[in-house]
Chain A
Amino acid sequence: MEILVCVKRVPDTAENEIEVNRDGSDIERDDLVYSVNEWDNYAVEEAIRIRDKVGGSVTVATVGDEDTEEVLRREMAMGADNGILLSDAAFAGADGRGIAAILKTAVEKGKYDLVLTGALADDGAGQVGGMLAALLDWPYASVVNSIEILDDSKIKVGREIEGGNHEINEIELPCVLSIQTGINEPRYVGIRGIRKVASVEIPVYGAADLGLSAEAVGARVSRADYFVPVLGAGAEILEGSMEEKIDKLIELLKAKGGLK
């Protein structure tokens, strides 16, 4: 089975405090630590497991500048066979539809049976997989938490729905799936694994290589600014030493019925 996984390089929220910059035009990017979008690691792990079971190959693709190449290498260190970097000045500012249009051309350059994305990324939109599927006219399922290969032409997928329940579907190949966290346990990638793939050549395709016009990636949705919302009173923050905070909390818990 030939599998393409679309990945994204994002600020690592476990390593950074995300703050708005001074003029609200962006988040504060100085000293940000970047990593692969968490959901994408699950998608790559799932692709590798499928390949190891039924054969084929795993290709990872991303849209971005030269800095984003590092996430392809990381996923190749996990076990992906190939990487593709989709990079062009014309791609800057693309909205979800634009990213999906770029990825579509990359899908059409290969011969894939299955395309995976993460269910969500840093912006929380969860949009690129569904758009890509619709552009390709392939079937789609989102928030997928189980995949079973039935034969060369169809698979069985579980989707996460509300209340911890799962919705089981049968889908014809080729198809696009967006992968939810928890579907597997992504393998650890050590520095040695990354070194192994450090010199592997990763092809870079620009707008001209992909046959993309500026219009095809033109944005209809754009970010005007970032801000920190003014909310209600918020929590009463307990101050003092650890001991003082705990004494105060125990008092409050007793009053609210939190201690039995």
Chain B
Amino acid sequence: MAGQVFAYIVHKNGVADDTAMELLAAAAKIDAGVPVTAVVTGAGAELDGVCNSLTASYPEVWKIDNPALAYPNAEIIRKALVNILPADAIVLLPYDTFGLDLGPGLSIKLDSAYVADAVDFEGVDGSRLKVVRQEYSGMVSTHVLCDLSKGAVLTCRPGSFQPVDNTTAAGKVVDKSPDAGDLTVKRRYIQVVEAEKGDVDITKSDVLVSVGRGIEDQENIELAEDLAQSMGAVVSCSRPIVDAKWLEKARQVGTSGQTVKPKVYLALGISGSFQHLGGIKGAPFIVAVNKNPKAPIFQVADVGIVEDILEFIPELAEKVKESK
């Protein structure tokens, strides 16, 4: 087994992200026997609170406390991490917009291997870690071999590793702040601009009629609206529909949009990327309609229908109206 394993902990408002426990589980899949060190950056009392809470699960928690780290600017965090981590460190990060910002550059500065968006680890053979990941929006999976001998930075897909429920670590917090070094960078964080509120709050609806790329044309959005109206539902959508500006951003379900908790979710012409599925919580009854029988959405749906939604939606709307 190669170097020491570190998990970078994302936190907000004094609370560690769900990925904190998932990374611990991911580390155990690399080597069940190895102690994992949590690394937490931030400032002041909020940071201390997060560090103390993590000692229940992590045997060691490295903290870097600096006013410059009050907001998680990946460029600054990278500098601090490069200064405190050993050269052969195996560093785990969440694969999200923060991990995308930090991970690739960190791997270069640590001169380590990099694998993004791991969904599983299948053990180490010699110095090579076998990583499972997906390509083509989840249509195929691959095994990737990652050379750990000079260290590695690995980003893990949120929700893919069953969190470890360990609260008996009785770990200690180690203050690494003095070792963080020079933290001046050429990217300055200014502010977070909150998402605009739309005219409809899709998070409040029990039934969502959600459309994706399969709707093909802006004019066809009407079909979904008609169906939703007949069902007493609300129209939501996946990312490409917002990118095309056919529906407003507030209608988007997914990690970069809204998190919804409906009772019934009708996914129409949505392939089912994990970013989209990440916005659906509360285990709703999912119906997927897609003309591609191999669409990943069918793996997570309760009921699937292989049809072209442009033919299917009007007929369904008609029948729903009749059934009333």
**Which residues of B (161-200) have their CB < 8 Å from a CB of A?**
185-195
Q: Is the CB of A124 within 8 A of B195?
A: no
Total number of A residues with any Cβ neighbor in B under 8 Å: 84
Decide if the interface of chain B is mainly helix, strand, loop or mixed. Answer: mixed
Q: Is the CB of B303 within 8 A of A221?
A: no
Interface string of A100-143 (1 = CB under 8 A from B): 10000000000000000001001111111111011100111111
Interface residues on B, range: 35 or more
Q: Is the CB of B97 within 8 A of A242?
A: no
Q: Complex Cα distance A20/B285, Å?
A: 30
B140 to chain A, nearest CB (A): 5
Q: Is the CB of B135 within 8 A of A182?
A: no
Q: Is the CB of B104 within 8 A of A127?
A: yes
Q: Is the CB of B320 within 8 A of A14?
A: no
Q: Complex Cα distance A131/B107, Å?
A: 8
A124 to chain B, nearest CB (A): 6
Interface string of B205-248 (1 = CB under 8 A from A): 01100000100000000000000000111000001101111000
Q: Complex Cα distance A189/B186, Å?
A: 36
Q: Is A208 interfacial (CB-CB < 8 Å)? A: no
Contacts of A246 in B (CB 8 A): 312, 315-316, 319
Q: For B144, give its contact among A19, A126, A168, A222 (CB under 8 Å).
A: A222
Q: For A96, give its contact among B114, B133, B134, B315 (CB under 8 Å).
A: B114
**Contacts A223-B142, A227-B142, A250-B319 given; does A134 touch B109 at CB 8 Å:** yes
**Contacts A227-B142, A249-B303 given; does A170 touch B107 at CB 8 Å:** no
Q: For B116, give its contact among A126, A235, A242 (CB under 8 Å).
A: A126
B278 to chain A, nearest CB (A): 9
Closest to A227 in B: B141
Decide if the interface of chain A is mainly helix, strand, loop or mixed. Answer: mixed
Q: Is B1 interfacial (CB-CB < 8 Å)? A: no
Q: Complex Cα distance A159/B286, Å?
A: 31
Closest to B117 in A: A124
Contacts of A172 in B (CB 8 A): 186-187
B192 to chain A, nearest CB (A): 5
Q: Is the CB of B104 within 8 A of A158?
A: no
Q: Complex Cα distance A237/B74, Å?
A: 44
Contacts of B191 in A (CB 8 A): 167-168
**A: which residues have CB within 8 A of B?**
11, 13-14, 17-20, 27, 95-97, 100, 119, 122-131, 133-135, 138-143, 156, 158-172, 175, 178, 181-182, 185, 220-229, 231-232, 234-238, 242-243, 245-247, 249-250, 252-253, 256-260
Known: A134-B109, A162-B96, A175-B187. 14 other contacts (CB 8 A): A13-B136, A119-B100, A122-B135, A127-B114, A134-B105, A166-B193, A182-B243, A220-B113, A221-B146, A227-B140, A235-B298, A238-B304, A242-B315, A257-B264
Per CB-CB distance, the 3 closest pairs between chain A and chain B, nearest first, are A130-B104, A260-B232, A235-B304
Could you show 9 A-B contacts with beta carbons less than 8 Å apart?
A125-B115, A125-B116, A167-B191, A171-B187, A181-B243, A222-B145, A223-B143, A234-B304, A235-B300
